[in-house]
Amino acid sequence: MKQFIAAFVLSAFFIFAAIYGLILAVDPYNKFGYNVFGFETKAVSFARENKYNQVEHAKQKYTAFIMGTSSAHRYYTKDLNRLTGLVSYNYSTQSATPEDYIAMTRHIFTKYKPKLIMISFGFEDLNKFTVTDDMFYSSPLKKHLQEVPAEELERSLFNNSYLTLGAIADSLNVIWVNLFGKARHAYLEHGDHIVEPTDKTLMLSQAGYSEYEIDPKRIEYLKTLKKICDENGTKVVVLTTPLSLEHLNLIRHNPKIAAQFEKYKMTLVEIFGELWDFQHDGIAPYSTLEYFRDSIHPNHHLSTLVLEDIFGTAGPKIGKLIKK
Amino acid sequence: MLFNSYTFIFCFLPVALIGYFTLNHFNKITLGKWWLALASLYFYSYWSVKNLPLFLISLTVNYFIGHYLHMGIRKKQTLFRLGLVFNIGILCFFKYSGLVGLAQFALPLGLSFYTLQQVGFLIDSYEGLAEEKSFIDYAVFVSFFPQLISGPIVHYQHLMPQILKNDNKHFRVDQFSVGLFVFSIGLVKKVLISEAFSSWAKPGFDEAMTLDLLAAWKTSLSYTFQLYFDFSGYTDMAIGLGHMFNVKLQQNFNSPFRSKSVIEFWTRWHMTLSQFISTYIFTPIVRAMPKINFRNTMIATFIAMFIAGVWHGAGWTFVVYGALHGLALVVNHLRKKKKKKFPGWVSWLLTFNFVNVTFVIFRAKDMSDAIKVLRGMIGLDGVVVPKIGISSVGFLKDYGFEVGSYLYPNDYLMIAMFVAVFWSIHKAKNSIELEKEFKPSVKLACACGAAFVLCIFGMNRITEFIYFNF
């Protein structure tokens, strides 16, 4: 019996050390900057760690930043550079919320003096029932969210992004890709995103909207963000990220959610003065696989059209500018 | 505090165990009990200290009622009835006040469980089956942290003799080993299996507006398995912890999805609740009937099951859940009486699907939510076939089926888990069998250690146990 307990404790200890050691050595999210095995790429799922480090250590003096959720991954920085004459970085991350945007803004101003910040908003971003992504709390961005006391941001001793099943899977993925596959650079230089192969059908996301309420805390974060930018003479351009027509219909199917949908846009107009709206029926001709990866993620093609609408000289074709 | 949290596993549990056995070792038996009771109260109030006063009031009042029931007072029956009104009143106030237009208060953690346990104690005391003179012993009985929040619902006569037994007052390596083994099984069920099913069930219930046939089945089966692995995982952890304190708690699950009738299902699912209902609700109802015959027994069965459903909460979904199970039990008994039988596999299929459908109602926020999933399950909201290879399923379009996206790696994992679970339902040994056949070996210890470590990595996304809500 004693042997059983001893074997349990020892095996647990060594297996834990081996797994955690492997994760640290692979460092899949570039948390510590280790690369023991000299891997060409880190096939990560989460952008926050990587992009934070890229912004922190970049040699370029970026003058424009793109923020948003995964739906903003496909704005090419070269397109924004071409259209604005600025040097841009795409700071968008999966499941971003205004907590990310304010923290990113503060982080950016510690290093750069940007002339432009573009934020691509999703409907869920302002929803009180959309919780802050766990990965935000385990990323260095959290230290820039001064509104929340440090102890509330702290997770338990072991709760960091490397003590997860996801970290094990990602580490194995990194090893697999580097040893047997083709290096897949998820995030390229300047925060750009790789071009992924598309599905053969436009999949309507099963994500519905059962509960929605605009979060007053997030409104305050955005007001602060605007204030910081105004004080530094930085222009803020905000837009609603394109949604396919079928997804728009899904939102408008429920009258309560539809009312919140309008309120969310008006709230953004109220805070930022103007809003480029891409979430309207005018998206109908673009609701195909030529322009969308799925119903909520525009592909590179549509993302480029969005940038041209806002910053180009030909005038908008899809977007509608709503002013206060 | 959650069993599947770092704080519990690495801080609370070692401190509770070391303190308890050290005090007992130095023959400070009463202090040891106080330690256990205080540790349990800390465990309970870690979540929210607001729940503690009600718990202490309930514990104290029930102790004194139980105590006086044994002192041979004249108005014993009145006191007993007062005790029942007190307990059921608290339960109803917190669970059903919203129904009668009063403010709906948040349900204090574990209220349903510790109230049932104390109601059982009062009934046993009234009937002379249990007696407790010591307040601290009673406090340990009610607050013993492994079973405090979600059961198993234990009887005084089952728990206390074990705690009071001299042999059990000292740390026992054999019991600790079994406890570690069973606790690890529960941890795997909760952290690795239930959480995976939860991620597939939740979008279907809480986010989707409509569900096609496959999505609806994926949603309902995922919830059925989530609930089972969540609750039985919790029970295994509780039983494992009990062993560590040299207490054998009652089993709550005995492969319920192997059942071939709803009657059998309720002897295998949430067994301690079934026993409670049978002993303290069904039997008194039958006794109160003017005549004990089949018809009256069936009425009592239906009422008891209906109460069990409503015990979960005030919503219509629980009313329908209880009523459906009550009806199914009656139908089962009728068929049994008439000696009608389906072939084994048909009985299993019918029972499993009945349980699966009723769990949809149990999980849904309201009846319209349940209808959404049930409609999908019979294909009323379309059939979308995933692409396995376009050529192989493309022809289905001609028959009115939609062809959706490819299967993603996560979908393959889900299919693999469904297959594994269905296999394990029929073939694998359950926790009761594994516990009975436990033979410590280095190989088994290493396997448990590896599983435990994986769970440690899976505990970053801590979610509550489903039965914490009841």
Q: List chain A pLDDT tens, one digit each, 324 residues.
A: 788 899 999 999 999 999 999 988 888 776 666 778 877 766 554 578 778 888 988 888 999 999 999 889 999 999 999 999 999 999 999 889 999 999 999 999 999 999 999 999 999 899 988 878 767 876 788 889 877 776 665 544 444 678 888 889 888 888 888 888 765 556 678 888 877 665 545 555 545 567 889 999 999 999 999 999 999 999 999 999 999 888 888 888 888 888 999 999 999 999 999 999 999 999 989 888 788 887 888 988 999 999 999 999 888 899 999 998
Interface test with B, best of A9, A11, A135 (most B CBs within 10 A): A11
- What pLDDT score was predicted for residue A157? 40
Do B146 and B224 lie in a common domain? no
Whether B280 is covered by a domain: the verdict is: yes
Whether B1 is covered by a domain: the verdict is: no
Contact B207 A209 (CB under 8 A): yes
The torsion angles phi and psi of A40, rounded to 5 degrees, stand at -75, -35
Contact B452 A8 (CB under 8 A): yes
Nearest CB partner across the interface for A207, out of B203, B440, B446 = B203
A12 CB neighbours in chain B (<8 A) are 449-450, 452-453
Q: Are strands A297-298 and A292-294 parallel, antiparallel or unpaired?
A: antiparallel
Range of the domain at B117: 6-171
Do B56 and B75 lie in a common domain? yes
Which residue is catalytic, options B155, B243, B270, B312? B312
User: Confidence class of residue B233 from pLDDT cuts 50, 70 and 90?
Assistant: very high
- What pLDDT score was predicted for residue A156? 43
Nearest CB partner across the interface for A203, out of B404, B456, B458 = B404
Do the beta carbons of residue B326 and residue B305 sit within 8 Å? yes
Do B210 and B167 lie in a common domain? no
Do B126 and B184 lie in a common domain? no
How many A/B residue pairs have CB atoms within 8 Å?
A: 103
Residue A121, min C-alpha distance to chain B (Å): 20
Q: Averaging pLDDT over each range in A30-44, B74-88, B217-231, which range is the top one?
A: B217-231
Do B357 and B257 lie in a common domain? yes
- What pLDDT score was predicted for residue A197? 62
- What pLDDT score was predicted for residue A183? 59
Rounded mean pLDDT, B404-413: 70
Rounded mean pLDDT, B153-164: 87
B25 is catalytic: no
| Residue B222: partners with Cβ closer than 8 Å, 6 or more residues away | B197, B198, B200, B201, B204, B414
Higher per-residue pLDDT: A287 or B314: A287
Strand order in the sheet with A88-90: A88-90, A64-68, A116-121, A235-240, A274-277, A320-323
Closest by CA position to A12, among listed B453, B11, B447: B453
The CA distances from residue B209 to A204, A258, B57, B231, B360, in Å, are 11, 14, 45, 28, 15
Measured between CA atoms, the residue of chain A closest to residue B210 is A206
Do B124 and B209 lie in a common domain? no
Rounded mean pLDDT, B271-300: 89
Residue A46, min C-alpha distance to chain B (Å): 16
Query: In chain A, what are the domain boundaries?
Result: 37-194+209-323
Instruction: Name the packing angle between helices B213-244 and B367-377 (round to 10°).
Output: 120
B244 CB neighbours in chain A (<8 A) are none
Number of C-alpha atoms within 13 angstroms, CB side, residue A230? 9
For residue B399, the 8-state DSSP code is G
Do B59 and B88 lie in a common domain? yes
The span from the first CA to the last CA of chain A, in angstroms, equals 74
Measured between CA atoms, the residue of chain A closest to residue B406 is A199
Residue length, chain B?
Answer: 470
Round the average pLDDT of chain B to a whole number and report it: 87
A158 CB neighbours in chain B (<8 A) are 6, 456, 459-460
Q: Which of B171, B188, B204 finishes a domain?
A: B171
Number of C-alpha atoms within 13 angstroms, CB side, residue A290? 6
Residue B185, min C-alpha distance to chain A (Å): 13
Measured between CA atoms, the residue of chain B closest to residue A138 is B460
A283 token code pair: 């998206």
Do B136 and B13 lie in a common domain? yes
Higher per-residue pLDDT: A181 or B357: B357
Number of domains observed in the structure of chain B: 2
Q: Which of B122, B137, B171 finishes a domain?
A: B171
Interface test with A, best of B457, B459, B461, B463 (most A CBs within 10 A): B457
Do B165 and B199 lie in a common domain? no
Interface of A with B (CB under 8 A): 1-12, 15-16, 19, 134, 156-159, 163-165, 167-168, 199-201, 203, 206-210, 250, 253-254
- What pLDDT score was predicted for residue A206? 47
B318 token code pair: 């629980």
A4 CB neighbours in chain B (<8 A) are 177, 180, 440-442, 444-445
Whether B281 is covered by a domain: the verdict is: yes
Interface test with A, best of B6, B175, B460, B461 (most A CBs within 10 A): B460
pTM over 0.80: no
Nearest CB partner across the interface for B207, out of A6, A200, A208 = A208
A3 CB neighbours in chain B (<8 A) are 440, 442, 445
- Give the Cα separation of B429 and B445 in Å (integer): 18
Arch. (CATH architecture) of A37-194+209-323: 3-Layer(aba) Sandwich (3.40)
Contact B403 A206 (CB under 8 A): no
Measured between CA atoms, the residue of chain B closest to residue A133 is B461
Do B289 and B433 lie in a common domain? yes
Rounded mean pLDDT, B44-64: 90
Q: CB B100: neighbour CB atoms within 10 A?
A: 8
The torsion angles phi and psi of A69, rounded to 5 degrees, stand at -90, -160
Contact B449 A8 (CB under 8 A): yes
Closest by CA position to B242, among listed B310, B110, B154, B321: B154
Q: Which of B141, B171, B201 finishes a domain?
A: B171
| Residue B84: partners with Cβ closer than 8 Å, 6 or more residues away | B119, B122
Do B73 and B128 lie in a common domain? yes
Please state whether A120 falls in left (phi above 0), alpha (psi between -120 and 50) or beta: beta
Residue B281, min C-alpha distance to chain A (Å): 38
pLDDT tens, position by position, B417-444:
899 999 988 888 888 888 888 888 999 9
Measured between CA atoms, the residue of chain A closest to residue B448 is A8
3-state secondary structure of A192: coil
Look at A1-10, A136-145, B58-67, B140-149 and tell me which has the smallest mean pLDDT.
Answer: A136-145
Do B210 and B319 lie in a common domain? yes
| Residue B394: partners with Cβ closer than 8 Å, 6 or more residues away | B403
- What pLDDT score was predicted for residue A292? 86
- Give the DSSP letter string of B61-87: HHHHHHHHHTTT-TTHHHHHHHHHHHH
Cα torsion B306, B309, B311, B317: sign: negative
ipTM of the complex: 0.81
For tokens 């702290």, name the residue. Answer: A154
- Give the Cα separation of A252 and A257 in Å (integer): 7
Nearest CB partner across the interface for B457, out of A19, A207, A253 = A19
- What pLDDT score was predicted for residue A118? 96
Contact A15 B208 (CB under 8 A): no
- Give the Cα separation of B381 and B373 in Å (integer): 10
Contact A199 B177 (CB under 8 A): no
The CA distances from residue B261 to A294, B330, B358, in Å, are 44, 11, 14
Do the beta carbons of residue A20 and residue B196 sit within 8 Å? no
A199 token code pair: 């599905």
